[in-house]
Structure formats: structure tokens, C-alpha cells
């Protein structure tokens, strides 16, 4: 089996590459310029030399068509595009274009080549918006509250349309928050963990956070890529929610991170209204019962364990 991972340099792409290599796949990863990209996450996981890398501009249909035609993958994992909710408010056009153009160009390439390529598309639990303390499932309506979520929702419907109109094996995984040491520090979970580690070592700095009352469903990224793979092994393509089913506040996350070192998070943190989001989701939680029922996947790592694993990896 041969897989093409678009967005292989990111957190999910790197963990997915490792998983597929362990399963005996030939793994090809794409980057806009593979000759100058560092692929530091692949290096960190010790798999950089095991992956074949291709330069591909996902917003350029000709580039996508050439790479898909040349590599002839059995499976394509679309994990590329701007991935930060916060950054999407500053770069709404780039966020929308990077997510939508990648999805449409990959599906058009599959359709043009007329090969039985299976496509996984990265969706997001952010698409549901505020579910009013209800865990979102596959039939829950989308009410996106950020440019990122709007783009992911549109991408979801693109995939559904191509699956129905052209018979493509294409499925969207609606993944809720999933974290790991490979997250960059612009993501608040890694920001908290890294700051807690530095403060515990005597840095004397103050951690700046926005709204700490928000609640999120946090899982462990290496487990979530297993769900992606399982979705493409089924007889029929279906969109699935992937989540732990448990929601915790950001203040709980911070409390656990600092408590690991015997510290009180509030003694080292400032709440800054300037970094509150324009529109935010007070509560987010996913119901992954369907994924368990039809693929056997279930989250094994809860939020406290995620915090502990991230701290232990921070070193």
C-alpha cells in the first residue's frame, strides 16, 4: 500500500506517517517546497529518512495532478492548510483558500485520473460551534464561529458532494482537539505546558492567557491518526466524529500542568482580555459512539494523561 500525506510536516502528518510505516506502507509526504522544508517533526520521530518527499502546491491544480499521477497512491490524507483557529481571525482569506483549494484540487485530481484512490479529509469539531453543553455527533448541525471553522465546514460539504455526485471514496474525520508534544507553542495547550516547565525551572516569567473558562474535548494525537486510517479501511466511506467524549476547561488544563510541579497556576498567570477571541465557543465536546461502533476506535488517553505526557516530553 502507498499513501500520500498532504501536510506531513505537521503534528498529525508526522504521527500518521509513523503509523503507516509501522503498518508496512510506502509513505510519501508533500510540502510546498520539499527541498527547503526542515520536516523537524519527522526528524523528531526518527522517520525522516523513511519517507519519500515531494514538492506540491495544493492551491495549484496542475501541481496536484502531477504529483498524484506520478506517485499513484492508494490512499491520500488531506491534512494540509492553515490549522490555527486564532490565526484564522488574522488571516481569514488565506485560511479559507488554503483549506478549500487543497480539498477541491485533490478530489478533482482523483476524478480526472479515474483511479480507486481513497481520500481522508481533515475536518474539525470547531464546525459545530456552541452545542449548548451537548456532545456533538454526526447529525448535529454546523454553526461555525471562526474563519477556520467556516473553511472546514465548507470543505466537509465539498467532500460529501463529491462522494455523492461522483462516487469517490472520500470521508471527513470530524476531529475534536487532539494534542501532543509536536504542537507548536502558538497552540494554547503547548503554550501552557512549555511555560509551566520553564517557570518550574526558575524562569520567573508570567504566562498570558485569554478566556480560561472555555471547555474543550482534548485527546491524544497519536491515537487520533489511527482513527483516520481506520476510516479508509471500511467498505464504504462515512464521515465520523472522533473525540474523547469528555470536556474540560482551559483553567483545568493549566491547573494540572502547574500542579505537576507543585505550583498554583494562578500565581504565575495573567488573564489578558486583548487575546480573547472575537467569537469563541464556550463548550465543545464530541460523541464518537458511531466511530466505536463501525471502526472499533475509542480514545484511550484522557485530558489529565495528555497533560502529563506533554510535560514529560517537554524535558
54, 75, 126, 179: which is the annotated catalytic residue? 126
- CA–CA separation, 14 and 98 (whole Å): 19
Q: φ, ψ for residue 56 (rounded to 5)? A: -150, 130
DSSP sequence for 244-279: -S--EEHHHHHHHHHHTTT--GGGGEEE-GGGS-SS
25, 77, 120, 148: which is the annotated catalytic residue? 148
Strand-pair partners of 215: 249, 283
Is 77 designated active site? no
30, 31, 63, 124: which is the annotated catalytic residue? 124
Vertex 314 angle, CA 27 and 86, to 5°: 75
Is 247 designated active site? no
* Helices within 182-281 (DSSP H only): 188-200, 221-231, 250-259
Is 148 designated active site? yes
DSSP label of 183: S
- CA–CA separation, 259 and 257 (whole Å): 6
Residues designated catalytic = 124, 126, 148
Amino acid at each position: 500500500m502507498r499513501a500520500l500525506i498532504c501536510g506531513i510536516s505537521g503534528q498529525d502528518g508526522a504521527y500518521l506517517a509513523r503509523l503507516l510505516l509501522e503498518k508496512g506502507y510506502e509513505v510519501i509526504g508533500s510540502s510546498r517546497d520539499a527541498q527547503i522544508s526542515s520536516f523537524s517533526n519527522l526528524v523528531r520521530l526518527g522517520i525522516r529518512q523513511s519517507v519519500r518527499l515531494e514538492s506540491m502546491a495544493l492551491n495549484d491544480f496542475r501541481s496536484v495532478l502531477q504529483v498524484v499521477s506520478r506517485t499513484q497512491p492508494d490512499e491520500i490524507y488531506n491534512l494540509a492548510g492553515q490549522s490555527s483557529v486564532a490565526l484564522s481571525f488574522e488571516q481569514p482569506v488565506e485560511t479559507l483558500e488554503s483549506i478549500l483549494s487543497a480539498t477541491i484540487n485533490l478530489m478533482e485530481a482523483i476524478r480526472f485520473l479515474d483511479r480507486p484512490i481513497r481520500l481522508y479529509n481533515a475536518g474539525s469539531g470547531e464546525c459545530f460551534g456552541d452545542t449548548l453543553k451537548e456532545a456533538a455527533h454526526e447529525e448535529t448541525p454546523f454553526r461555525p464561529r471562526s474563519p477556520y471553522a467556516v473553511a472546514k465546514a465548507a470543505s466537509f460539504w465539498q467532500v460529501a458532494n463529491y462522494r455523492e455526485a461522483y462516487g469517490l471514496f472520500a470521508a471527513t474525520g470530524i476531529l475534536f482537539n487532539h494534542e501532543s508534544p509536536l504542537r507548536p507553542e502558538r497552540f494554547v495547550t503547548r503554550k501552557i505546558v512549555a511555560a509551566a516547565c520553564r517557570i518550574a525551572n526558575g524562569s520567573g516569567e508570567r504566562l498570558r492567557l485569554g478566556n480560561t473558562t472555555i471547555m474543550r474535548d482534548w485527546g491524544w494525537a497519536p491515537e487520533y491518526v489511527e482513527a483516520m486510517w481506520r476510516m479508509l479501511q471500511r467498505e464504504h466511506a462515512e464521515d465520523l466524529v472522533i473525540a474523547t467524549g469528555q470536556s474540560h476547561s482551559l483553567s483545568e488544563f493549566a491547573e494540572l500542568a502547574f500542579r505537576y510541579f507543585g505550583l498554583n497556576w494562578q500565581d504565575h498567570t495573567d488573564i489578558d482580555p486583548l487575546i480573547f477571541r472575537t467569537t469563541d465557543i464556550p463548550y465543545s465536546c464530541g460523541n464518537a459512539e458511531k466511530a466505536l461502533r463501525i471502526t472499533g476506535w475509542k480514545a484511550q488517553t484522557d485530558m489529565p494523561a495528555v497533560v502529563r505526557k506533554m510535560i514529560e516530553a517537554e524535558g
